[in-house]
């Protein structure tokens, strides 16, 4: 394990140094986009996720329901994040007559609706099964 | 109970998802996702900037379509996995540095810096990649070189991270998630609840990654075209195939006396469009596979480049430089490696799906070769030069 770790360390340091060297000419313009990710995540996204989690835990006491709602929120948030570049085109983007080539807001809305409909169906089925086993 | 607000410590976070059992598994999945991104990205880089030792096969004709599809889709899958991983280790942001022990403090600082580089670089790759596929560039750097440089940062910092965490990761990965020992049906204690929540967290992360892939895979998987709401390209476009650069954007005007020039060491030849159309034609189904991960197949009809060179009396089996009527722009020319220039499926196409090429598809003729990125399928071809 020592050898493996040492090897990883050496190769990792070399690759990092190579990346730094490649990036050097553009470091100034890239820096805000490099730092932006962890800053936004650590001071905004993660605390928000924590607060939503705490609130959800208070509001929903059934564990199965809680798990499925949390999963639905995670999937919705991911889809929204992936959709950002499709929904928001800053004016600096070059014009491309081929883009946008479909109605992304509509597609996203339909996708989210399908997702939540599926979760509602799962929960209704699970609750009915639970009740049945309770009654037996 | 009223507490004064203070900066949290790791022990304040009690959710089971913060366990190293979860962290290490998410880490492994992320390593697979980023590893696929890096491998396929490196291939794409080498295809466009081939070092001397590099060769890329022409078969299967869909090879580049597959590698680049894997590249963008594993990047999409990494979005929820990265967020899940960072949530899992969020408490560790609040670990207090060992200020009184200089040696441990410097080791701690070095580790923190390498993790910062890793997280910066990982976010950078995913965010810039997603904006690039939407052809949106709200930044000052040149995307391909920056994305390539930061890829090395991700891989380097990832290897450093694994070197540091290997003991914890190994211990965690060899500990089963499901508590064994007691029979599964035993009365659930608090430990079982934790372990089931850990498994639920991992299942959700994997499931969301799957949904994200499904929501975008239509860019390249034909039967998902109508399913994926966030596919950044559909298969539609002029003559049934999307385009990135229009003739107007490239400032193309085809001169009325257009002739294709063929040049080689010791000779030259030229053909009019009518001459080209009079040569034996071949039709092939080949994909346009963009570096942005979208792809679409079409039936192209034209003259195989190797036949054309033979007809002109030029040597074959050598690299060929293909130059466009376009005068500016990064993609005004490309070089066909020898393997591609001698492949009978590499066409100088005059027709797409049975119709004459429209100006946006490269009228009067364009290059279409198997297993190549779309940016190298030069349009509005004016000249072929056989290299040595
Ligand atoms: C892009 C990929 C990755 C990112 C962005 C990432 C990020 C992080 C971060 C920010 C931490 C907290 C650092 C700290 O302990 O202070 C961490 C911890 C950790 N990571 Fe990763 N990681 C990645 C890949 C991996 C891989 C491939 C593995 C190995 C399987 C791994 C295993 C671990 C382990 C075991 C910990 C410590 C958990 C603990 O001690 O509680 N990570 N990671």
Q: Are residues A78 and A120 in the same domain?
A: yes
Q: Are residues A68 and A106 in the same domain?
A: yes
Residue A42, domain extent? 31-60
Distance CA A10, CA A4 (A): 10
pLDDT-derived band of residue B126, with 50, 70 and 90 as boundaries? very high
Q: Are residues A70 and A130 in the same domain?
A: yes
Domains and CATH numbers, chain B: 10-178+190-224 (1.20.950), 239-386 (3.90.420.10)
Q: Are residues A53 and A110 in the same domain?
A: no
Check CB contact under 8 Å for B156 and A18.
yes
pLDDT in tens, B314-361: 898 899 999 988 877 777 888 999 999 989 999 999 889 888 888 888
Distance CA B293, CA B271 (A): 35
Number of domains in chain A: 2
Q: Model-level pTM greater than 0.95?
A: no
B251: left (phi over 0), alpha (psi -120 to 50) or beta: left
Q: How much distance in Å is there from the Cα of B166 to the middle of ligand 1?
A: 10
Q: Is A110 in CB contact (< 8 Å) with chain B?
A: yes
pLDDT in tens, A12-45: 999 999 999 999 999 999 999 999 999 999 999 9
| B94 neighbors B10 (Cβ within 8 angstroms) | yes
The sign one gets for the Cα dihedral A21, A25, A30, A32 is positive
Q: Are residues A35 and A77 in the same domain?
A: no
Distance CA B69, CA B220 (A): 6
Choose one of B14, B16, B24, B27 to mutate for the ligand 1 pocket test, by most ligand atoms within 8 angstroms of C-beta. Answer: B27
Residue A5 included in any domain: no
pLDDT in tens, B6-25: 888 898 888 889 999 999 99
Q: Are residues A75 and A105 in the same domain?
A: yes
Residue minimizing CA distance to atom 39 of ligand 1? B20
Q: Count Cβ atoms within 10 A of the Cβ of residue B353 and give its class: 0-12 exposed, 13-18 middle, 19 or more buried.
A: middle
Chain B closest CA to A36's CA: distance in Å? 8
Of A93, A101, A107, the CB nearest to B233: A101
pLDDT-derived band of residue B270, with 50, 70 and 90 as boundaries? confident
Q: Is the CB of B157 under 6 A from ligand 1?
A: no
Evaluate whether ipTM surpasses 0.85: yes
């Amino acid at each position: 394990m020592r050898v493996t770790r040492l090897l990883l360390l050496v190769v990792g340091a070399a690759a990092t140094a190579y990346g730094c060297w490649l990036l050097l000419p553009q470091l100034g313009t890239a820096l805000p986009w490099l730092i932006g990710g962890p800053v936004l995540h650590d001071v905004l996204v993660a605390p928000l996720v924590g607060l939503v989690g705490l609130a959800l835990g208070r509001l929903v006491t059934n564990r199965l329901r809680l798990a499925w709602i949390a999963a639905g929120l995670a999937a919705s948030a991911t889809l929204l994040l992936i959709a950002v570049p499709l929904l928001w085109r800053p004016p600096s983007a070059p014009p491309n007559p081929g883009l946008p080539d479909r109605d992304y807001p509509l597609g996203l809305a339909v996708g989210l609706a399908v997702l939540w409909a599926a979760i509602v169906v799962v929960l209704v089925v699970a609750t009915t099964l639970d009740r049945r086993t309770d009654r037996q | 109970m009223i507490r004064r607000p203070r900066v949290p410590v790791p022990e304040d976070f009690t959710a089971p998802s913060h366990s190293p059992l979860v962290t290490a598994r998410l880490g492994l999945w992320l390593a697979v996702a980023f590893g696929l991104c890096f491998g396929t990205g490196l291939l794409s880089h080498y295809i466009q900037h081939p070092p001397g030792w590099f060769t890329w096969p022409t078969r299967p004709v869909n090879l580049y379509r597959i590698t680049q599809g894997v590249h963008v889709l594993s990047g999409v899958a990494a979005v929820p996995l990265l967020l899940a991983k960072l949530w899992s280790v969020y408490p560790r942001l609040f670990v207090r540095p060992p200020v009184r022990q200089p040696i441990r403090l410097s080791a701690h600082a070095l580790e923190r810096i390498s993790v910062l580089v890793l997280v910066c670089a990982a976010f950078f790759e995913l965010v810039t990649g997603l904006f690039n596929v939407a052809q949106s560039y709200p930044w000052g750097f040149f995307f391909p070189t920056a994305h390539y440089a930061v890829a090395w940062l991700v891989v380097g910092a990832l290897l450093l991270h694994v070197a540091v965490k290997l003991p914890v990761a190994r211990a965690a990965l060899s500990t089963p998630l499901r508590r064994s020992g007691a029979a599964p049906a035993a009365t659930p204690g608090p430990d079982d609840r934790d372990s089931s929540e850990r498994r639920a967290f991992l299942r959700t992360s994997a499931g969301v990654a799957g949904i994200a892939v499904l929501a975008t895979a239509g860019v390249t998987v034909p039967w998902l075209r109508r399913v994926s709401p966030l596919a950044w390209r559909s298969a539609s476009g002029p003559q049934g195939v999307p385009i990135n650069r229009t003739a107007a954007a490239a400032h193309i005007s085809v001169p009325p006396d257009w002739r294709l020039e063929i040049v080689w060491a010791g000779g030259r030849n030229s053909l009019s469009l009518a001459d080209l159309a009079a040569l034996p034609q071949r039709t092939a189904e080949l994909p346009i596979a963009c570096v942005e991960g979208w792809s679409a197949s079409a039936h192209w009809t034209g003259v195989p480049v190797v036949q054309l060179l033979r007809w002109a009396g030029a040597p074959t089996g050598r690299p060929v430089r293909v130059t466009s009527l376009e005068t500016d722009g990064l993609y005004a020319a490309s070089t066909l490696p020898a393997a591609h220039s001698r492949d009978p499926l590499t066409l100088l196409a005059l027709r797409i799906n049975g119709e004459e090429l429209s100006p946006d598809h490269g009228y009067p003729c364009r290059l279409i070769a198997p297993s190549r990125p779309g940016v190298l399928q030069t349009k509005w071809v004016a000249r072929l030069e056989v290299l040595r």
